[in-house]
Amino acid sequence: MQGMMMNRPLRIADILTFAEDVHGSAEIVSATVEGGIHRYTYKDAALRSRKLAQALLRLGVTPGQRIATLGWNGYRHFELYYAISGIGAVCHTINPRLSVEQMSYIVSHAEDRILCLDLTFVPLVEAILDHLPKGLRFIIMTDRAHMPETKLPGALCYEDLVEPETGDYEWPEFPEETASSLCYTSGTTGHPKGALYTHRSTVMHALMAGVSFLECLRPGRRILPVVPLFHVNAWGLPYAAPLTGASIVFPGPQLDGASLFKLMDEQKVFSAWGVPTVWLGLLAEIRKHGRIPEGFGEVIIGGSAAPRSMIEAFEDLNVSVCHAWGMTEMSPIGTQGSLAPPLTDLPKEKQIDLKSTQGRRTFGVELKIVDANGQRQPHDGVATGELFVRGNTIVSGYFNNQEASEAAFDAEGWFRTGDVASISPDGFLTITDRAKDLIKSGGEWISSIDLENMAIAHPDVANCAVIAVPHPKWDERPLLIVVPAEGAKPDKEEILAHLAKGLAKWQVPDDVIFVDTLPLTATGKVSKLTLRQIYADHSLPEAG
């Protein structure tokens, strides 16, 4: 027997319309590429998004066509999110940190018709123009006063397109399964793979985020997404924030600690979202000032595991840490680690223990771990296995890539994450490592994440990474690569002694290398692939 309820399609544009009607005075504040701060409301953004939609239609954009963006976190990029998907086209966000080969591949693979780019990226695109498909059109995201001379053929000015339109536009209806946006993985192995989201999955993800991050996703809060709009929809914040009435503060291109501190302080940001490498810079700036930015109360850390020492540093400043985990293929949020009673009544050390995990699953996401034979492992906090996921915000395959799609799922239809994990009886997920980053030494597994978390707790270590290097006797041994803290001159033996206090002898790295910086992936994580290439022939000291 079926119920008797209306069935209206879930549409992304309805989020912005709702924000316009209910949270119209909440703000979007942007540090702009041109310089200065731009400030307007959700009501303003809704009008401009409709005008942009009219402009795109006038350019001949049709449903299903892919429109690419190459931009920082700012209000124009936000408008593109809604205008492109709102007319039934697909918003393809491109990571500017990709290589020329990767960028030209995904533009061609996606069959993009238009590329919308910030001023910063005009020279980059001019340099790779010969590698891009012929007939690609360009919109430069600026006003007439800042429109540059450019080699990009027929380049259009964003504000010139938007300004003449009326904004008197009704968002069209289409099935909620209609494709809305496209994000490619960073492609550390093989070509990048495209995750093609739908209106339904995006709206559901926004609703899920809204009931998961209750401290920040509510009216009156101000959120800083340092996680970029060009990567996994900035973890869904451009949708979840207007849905819940929280204001957004976009940082633009300046993501160093000093710039973030200044912006957060001036705009009284409560919650900031980003990867651990970003927060190292902010913590250093906080130490310089001797205080936290005004209003700062929460940090959401994802992308890679946050060191326990980082969590403790923020918590000691009365900034609550919420560890989260997810993937491009998951829209991306899968788990989050905010604590509620009775867990908030636990001793602080126990709370840090829980916050050091990846948290518990969000509504609509299911988790399982399996052994090498595909057998499910118990959620007892002891057993480990490869992590698989399924749910309504998780891909069912990769865009135009049958081979990759077939390899990504098990016989039950669960998605293979490539992470090794355990799950506690009360649902807390602990990522042991990426399967490819585990170190197998003499038949025993060593977690690079555990070693890194211990090393970065040393006061002379600003950042670090652990990789496996070949060993004639033990197959692989861990190598620790350290970026010294500012002004510090760390001693190799002292750091190894620090690690030995909490590790078995066979788990301690055989060598330590000191470097000025660590290579980063296109998404701001430490690139262990690059490190393995650099140190593939590294000779370890004699080991027992």
Which residues lie closer than 8 Å to 422 by C-beta, 6 or more apart? 369, 381, 382, 383, 384, 385, 429, 430, 432
Q: Which of 101, 163, 177, 445 is flagged as catalytic?
A: 445
Strands 179-184 and 90-93: parallel
Q: Which of 17, 93, 185, 335 is flagged as catalytic?
A: 185
185 counts as catalytic = yes
Measured over the CA atoms of residue 501, residue 504, residue 510 and residue 512, the dihedral's sign is negative
329 counts as catalytic = yes
DSSP SS3 for 187: coil
What distance in Å separates the CA atoms of residue 235 and residue 282, rounded to the nearest whole number?
20
Among 496, 485, 493, 487, CA closest to 459: 485
User: In degrees rounded to 5, what are phi and psi of residue 34?
Assistant: -70, -20
Q: What is the dihedral of CA 492, 501, 440, 332, to 10 degrees?
A: -90
Which residues lie closer than 8 Å to 236 by C-beta, 6 or more apart? 202, 205, 206, 209, 331, 332, 333
Q: Which of 329, 368, 384, 528 is flagged as catalytic?
A: 329
What distance in Å separates the CA atoms of residue 480 and residue 456, rounded to the nearest whole number?
11
DSSP SS3 for 111: coil
DSSP SS3 for 43: helix
Among 499, 457, 501, CA closest to 478: 499
Q: Tell me the longest C-alpha to C-alpha distance in the chain.
A: 75
Q: Which H helix or E strand runs over 162?
A: helix 158-162
Which residues are known catalytic residues? 185, 329, 440, 445
